[in-house]
Chain A
Amino acid sequence: MAEFKHKHIIALRDLSKEDIELLISTAENMREINSRDIKKVPTLRGKTIINLFYEASTRTRTSFEIAGKRLSADTVNITPSSSSATKGETLADTALNLLAMKPDIIVMRHAVSGAHYFLANKVNCSIINAGDGAHEHPSQGLLDLLTMKDRYGRLDGLKVAIVGDITHSRVARSNIQGLTKLGSKVYLAGPPTMVPPGVEKLGDVTVCATMDEALQDADVVMMLRIQQERQGKTLMPNAREYSRYFGLNPQNIKLAKPNAMIMHPGPINRGVEMSTSVVDGDQSWILKQVENGVAVRMAMLYHVCGGELE
């Protein structure tokens, strides 16, 4: 079996195809634990994991916490409202103070792109990125890959449409990195104000002029959340017009392959990027993504600890 040599998981850009395949195959194994009656194994017993979330999160934080607990690690959650961040403490000082308490892993979400690299240079524990600015969200990328593999049994040769605000999306960047490394093609669509320069050079990426073009014969349609909080007021007229050109609905989904899978990293703005009937329809894999999130995060925690599966 391949060996995972990384101490940190900060970006799928930093991982090889083999690393990504290993994480996904470990996650597949971890799923068995999640279906047991007693959902706990002693793999990470005695390990301490700090979930340090500088940005709001429900899904990701809960998922990491459950993942840690199912592996018997001790998990502690810190959010800015209950920490020293509001008192003006720097990230480095917060990290050094946490480090003094000897954690094995810090799982962090932070609004600044690259904050994890900065942190990794300051501490000697493992760092896992739970989302940094508009850079990457590797656990989301991995769980998306696992979900696609569940549907198609492979991760090469897929046509994946990603629609929405690419500029501000760390989910899009992690998916582009992962899908390209595994041999799939990515088609992007969004208002030109939300497509960053040079994005086609990030991997096997085609920027489409319209959403219809991206949807055409797609195996996977991934819709991104419209992040009002990150867009300011200048990137689009309003949600109504956005929905008209970049919303997924029962009509335009027909352009994709029959029974193509529909994904969304959540939280969803129903009626904006996706109509409710699509969110709740037969083609939606959105809740499966969430379910897979726990297994993927167990795999990530397991591999950065470098332990052995029982």
Chain B
Amino acid sequence: MNLLIKGGRVIDPSQEIDDMMDVLVENGRVKELGKGLAAAAGVEIIDAAGKYVVPGLIDMHVHLRDPGLEYKEDIVSGTKAAVAGGFTSVCCMPNTKPVNDNKAVASYIINKAKTEGLCNVFPIGSITYGLSGDRMSEMGELKESGCVAVSDDGRPVINSELMMRSLQYAAGIGIMVISHAEELELVGEGVMNEGFTSTELGLKGIPRVAEDIATVRETLLAEYTGTSIHIAHVSTKGSVRIIREAKARGVKVTCETAPHYFSLTDDAVRGYNTNAKMNPPLREAADVAAIKEGLKDGTIDVIATDHAPHHQDEKDVEFNVAMNGIIGLETSLPLSLCLVDEGVLTLNQLVEKMSCNPSNILGLNRASLKTGSIADITLIDPKFEWIVEADKLASKSKNSPWLSQKLTGSAAATIVGGKVVYKR
């Protein structure tokens, strides 16, 4: 099926395009960009008036829970949520059961995504075998199997020597290392950010410095070894400053933040709301401001959701007992569009952080509407108002802090490899 996307505002940072144009898609690839393109017979026309037409969004940090934890999410439901949120590609973290530390698991994910999934799924393998933190996984085989990065997301590699060697070894293989930067001794039994709110609620706090100190270690290890590192889910003003300074020194560090870290503070925990419990935890207003500043000045390269589905039974419990994490695929776009409304980002920068940069960091070779590119395209309706309702979310899990709230902006259509996989 060939497509002609007509009358939209095309924003393609890879070609520095921001103009009203049509996009012609043929045989799964972009055939032509231009004004007033005519449709040949048999071409499906998509009216994009009032919409943004951008390279398909990429979420480089999700948990699809498949294999092993399918009661929370699986590749089918997770990719359904992804395309509903405007994502044409997602990168899934390896903390499945079994852990994605070998070819069999990586291949299973890739094959299931190809046959049953709705968007591209690029698996991320583990840095250490079984996420054990004591020896490297076979990164070469993981890369050959299709993994686009390695990460022990959910926990840091505690042993600094092993982390340093992993960075060196991964650089040799040519695979990116994504760090979950956290000093576990400082996290202790903490369940939310340490601050006034934790004091008032009587909940054990996690100090910001638990993240900052680990971010320092990672940037120093990357600097010392001359390797690349990507820091996941940056949440503190300290981490933003540390990464900004490291970048200025020439350290090959990139990083991401998640929509909740620029949209919410730890006030959201009040009422012991377990849908505001995640790791790293929601921080304070000064951190939110620093995250926005980091997005604006380019310190933060990527917006990724850390989509972390959990079953109701794991969230509808006492606060300390509740699992960490929230779903994010279906709310990321409207929350991120707020940054454009607030003047934090230009639309072009937003597309870079949600598509081009993750593609470049992981070498995905997507995120472009140049002629000949794979036709992964997202149509965004920036004005569409909708209410987040549990029974309308595609994700199997409903652990969102935005339930019952009104959001503005959504995907109007999601096109993967030239095929319309989602249309609102």
Q: Which residues of A contact B (CB under 8 A)?
A: 13, 90-92, 110-115, 117-118, 132-136, 167, 170, 173, 196-199, 201-202, 232
Contact = CB atoms under 8 A, between A and B. Distances in A.
Given A112-B318, A133-B320, A198-B199, 11 more contacts: A91-B317, A112-B319, A113-B319, A133-B202, A134-B202, A173-B202, A196-B205, A197-B198, A198-B200, A199-B199, A202-B200
Given A196-B199, A198-B196, A118 B205 contact: no
A133 B203 contact: yes
The size class of the interface chain B forms with chain A is 20 to 34
A301 B320 CA distance: 28
A218 B30 CA distance: 78
Given A113-B272, A197-B196, A135 B318 contact: no
Given A118-B318, A118-B319, A196 B198 contact: yes
Interface in B197-226: 197-205
A112 B320 contact: yes
Given A136-B202, A196-B199, A110 B194 contact: no
A46 to B, nearest CB: 31
B87 to A, nearest CB: 33
A170 B199 contact: no
A167 B196 CA distance: 11
B86 to A, nearest CB: 34
Contacts, number: 67
A196 B205 CA distance: 9
Contacts of B317: 90-92, 118
Contact of A114 (B194, B196, B201, B316): B201
B271 interface: yes
B364 interface: no
A197 B195 contact: yes
A114 B319 contact: yes
Contacts of A232: 188
Contacts of A110: 318
Contacts of B204: 134
Interface string B307-323: 00000010011111100
B202 A197 contact: no
A110 B321 CA distance: 12
A197 B201 contact: no
Contact of A118 (B196, B199, B202, B272): B272
A273 to B, nearest CB: 20
B318 A197 contact: no
Contacts of A118: 272, 317-319
A112 B201 contact: no
6 contacts: A110-B318, A132-B202, A133-B202, A135-B203, A196-B199, A197-B199
Given A134-B204, A197-B205, A117 B272 contact: yes
Task: Name, among A113, A115, A197, the residue most crowded by chain B CB atoms within 10 Å (CB to CB).
Answer: A113
What are the 3 A-B residue pairs with the smallest beta carbon separation, nearest first? Answer: A198-B196, A135-B202, A114-B272
B203 to A, nearest CB: 5
B286 to A, nearest CB: 13
A292 to B, nearest CB: 24
Given A135-B201, A197-B205, A115 B318 contact: yes
Contact of B271 (A92, A117, A134): A117
A124 B196 CA distance: 32
Contacts of A92: 316-317
Contacts of A173: 200, 202
Contacts of A198: 195-197, 199-200
Task: Name, among B196, B199, B316, the residue most crowded by chain A CB atoms within 10 Å (CB to CB).
Answer: B199
Contacts of B319: 112-115, 118
A175 B51 CA distance: 57
Nearest to A136: B202
Interface in B209-249: none
A113 B198 CA distance: 10
Contacts of A13: 200
Contacts of B199: 167, 196-199, 202
A114 B191 CA distance: 12
Contacts of A133: 202-203, 320
Interface in B264-309: 271-272
